[in-house]
Amino acid sequence: MTEQPRNVPNNLEAFWMPFSANRQFKQAPRMFVGAKDMHYVTSDGRQVLDGTAGLWCVNAGHCRPKITEAIRQQAGELDYAPAFQMGHPKAFELASRLATIAPEGLDHVFFTNSGSESVETALKIALAYQRVRGEGSRFRLIGRERGYHGVNFGGISVGGIVGNRKMFGTLLTGVDHMRHTHDPARNGYSKGATEHGVELAEDLVRIATLHDPSTIAAVIVEPVAGSTGVLPPPKGYLKRLREICDQHGILLIFDEVITGYGRMGTAFAADYFGVTPDIMVTAKGLTNGVIPMGAVYVRDEIYDAFMNGPEHLIEFAHGYTYSGNPIAAAAGLATLETYKEEGLFERARALEPVWAEAIHSLKGEPHVIDIRTIGLIGAIELEPMKGEPTKRAFTAFVRAFEAGLLIRTTGDIIALSPPLIVSEDQISEIVETLRKILRSLD
Ligand SMILES: Cc1ncc(COP(=O)(O)O)c(C=O)c1O
């Protein structure tokens, strides 16, 4: 039996929706009014299986009691504390806990409110660090084609998604981009890191030679590019980037906004690939997506380099009103406890082969031209419709929603990243629903 509609607003005009087809949505709204564990509830009372952990963030599943209760309690105890020149215990406790799960040496944490802010923070730390250590000539930031680093000016400058950049003028100056690593001709239907393409890391040498390494502050990459359609790195590629950075005094920044907090079956992608960056950018799964919060981890030498000069002076002129907000910190602590108590990172690790097998079983279905899986992430790339790119995947997205499954699409690629509590039966449900939809598409 379906429930009666509830909580449906009668005017959708005022809200300018982010990264959405506003007009299409407002003609046929898709509204969620509730959620529990692996499911959303729609405004017409249907259950929708969450194949994307919201937006790659609800790693422990929805409305988890410990997290909900921690937020409730904190809101009644200390709702807000000034973030500058004042503190509250939970922000310190959370930073210390995060340092214990971070790769060795990344023991200091700067809090933000989102992935985009974490990216800006990381880029600013990198530039400022080079300056405080006497390398002020290092002003360049290097990103990569097809990279996504949020939507603020620094992030879109080092990012490599044309559609996100072209409207916004000159962006940051002094930015260059390495080539992306996507090579379906050689690496089609991949599981885990891809076999071919380690040599693409040498593109950093080319850029460093062109500009001279002494002008480069940092390189930023997603260990697995997510938003441009799930592009796992070639085997050995990240390790080689690390070597080149070390050789030339360049900082290596990993943007782990989607790969962090268990998505790869390890705490971070840095652990999965065995490569430690100098700065690590995170958000999303940090609070299970429930309260906005980001965290930027830095190596001890970076933090220490700032702790100089007269002690009453502010060492780094950067921060947000909500950096380390008490309710976010409480949510973060409860999220980490939930991950630990339920062994969710290990669970994701154990599921990786099951997940890969299931998603790859869609090979050969209509329109499918490539499939990529890594950790609990999957991508199914569809052949675009002639003259109407993105339409086929968008149709799949709408049909999936109607069939009770939330997926995400980017271009003509279906991206999947379920909460880490997903069961094997639910993995089958995701795959079989998609199979039907693929067979129904024009
Ligand atoms: C790799 C990466 N960096 C940064 C961001 C931006 O995060 P936010 O939307 O929280 O600003 C995202 C969001 O998907 C992301 O995938």
Using a 10 angstrom Cβ sphere, with 0-12 exposed, 13-18 middle and 19 or more buried, the burial of residue 28 is: exposed
Tell me: pLDDT of 7 over 70.
no
* Residues 65-96: b if buried by 16+ CB within 10 A, e if exposed: ebbeebbeebeeeeeeeebeeeebebbeebbe
Atom of ligand 1 nearest to the CA of 119: 4
Tell me: pLDDT of 74 over 90.
yes
Question: Is 112 near ligand 1, meaning CB less than 6 Å away?
Answer: no
Task: For ligand 1, atom 15, name the residue with the nearest CA.
Answer: 257
In this structure, what token pair is assigned to residue 223?
């260990």
Q: For residues 253 and 280, what is the distance between their CA atoms, to the nearest angstrom?
A: 6
Among the ranges given (2-6, 204-208, 239-243), the one the predictor scored with the smallest mean pLDDT: 2-6
Angle at 59 between CA 332 and CA 431, to 5 degrees: 175
Tell me: pLDDT of 4 over 60.
no
Q: For residues 156 and 34, what is the distance between their CA atoms, to the nearest angstrom?
A: 33
Give pLDDT tens digits for 177-198.
Answer: 999 999 999 999 999 999 999 9
DSSP sequence for 316-330: S----TTTT-HHHHH
Question: Is 197 near ligand 1, meaning CB less than 6 Å away?
Answer: no
Tell me: pLDDT of 217 over 70.
yes
Question: Is 409 near ligand 1, meaning CB less than 6 Å away?
Answer: no
Position 5 scores a pLDDT of: 54
In percent, the amount of the chain with pLDDT more than 70 equals 98
Backbone angles phi, psi at 41, to 5 degrees: -120, 130
Residue 154 banded pLDDT, cuts 50, 70, 90: very high
Tell me: pLDDT of 8 over 80.
no
Q: Which of 161, 147, 145, 152 minimizes the C-alpha distance to 207?
A: 145
Question: Is 412 near ligand 1, meaning CB less than 6 Å away?
Answer: no
Mean pLDDT in residue range 43-70: 98
Atom of ligand 1 nearest to the CA of 155: 4
Position 175 scores a pLDDT of: 98
Position 376 scores a pLDDT of: 98
Atom of ligand 1 nearest to the CA of 256: 1
In percent, the amount of the chain with pLDDT more than 90 equals 98
Q: Best mutation site among 153, 258, 287, 408 for ligand 1, i.e. most ligand atoms within 8 A of its Cβ?
A: 258
Give pLDDT tens digits for 261-320.
Answer: 999 999 999 999 999 999 999 999 999 999 999 999 999 999 999 999 999 999 999 999
Atom of ligand 1 nearest to the CA of 117: 11
Position 1 scores a pLDDT of: 42
Position 190 scores a pLDDT of: 98
Q: For residues 48 and 38, what is the distance between their CA atoms, to the nearest angstrom?
A: 8
Q: For residues 207 and 418, what is the distance between their CA atoms, to the nearest angstrom?
A: 37
Q: Which of 223, 241, 208 minimizes the C-alpha distance to 138?
A: 208
Contacts of residue 105, Cβ cutoff 8 Å, sequence gap at least 6: 276, 299, 300
Mean pLDDT in residue range 346-375: 98
Q: Which residue has the tokens 């072209």?
A: 166
Paired strand residues for 356: none
Using a 10 angstrom Cβ sphere, with 0-12 exposed, 13-18 middle and 19 or more buried, the burial of residue 439 is: exposed
Question: Is 348 near ligand 1, meaning CB less than 6 Å away?
Answer: no
Tell me: pLDDT of 10 over 80.
no
Q: Which of 411, 414, 410 minimizes the C-alpha distance to 437?
A: 414
Give pLDDT tens digits for 383-417.
Answer: 999 999 999 999 999 999 999 999 999 999 999 99
Mean pLDDT over the full length of the chain:
97
Residues present in the chain in total:
442
Position 2 scores a pLDDT of: 47
Tell me: pLDDT of 6 over 90.
no
Atom of ligand 1 nearest to the CA of 283: 10
Q: Best mutation site among 52, 222, 227 for ligand 1, i.e. most ligand atoms within 8 A of its Cβ?
A: 227
Question: Is 283 near ligand 1, meaning CB less than 6 Å away?
Answer: yes
Paired strand residues for 62: 37
Paired strand residues for 382: 368
Mean pLDDT in residue range 54-75: 98
Mean pLDDT in residue range 363-371: 98
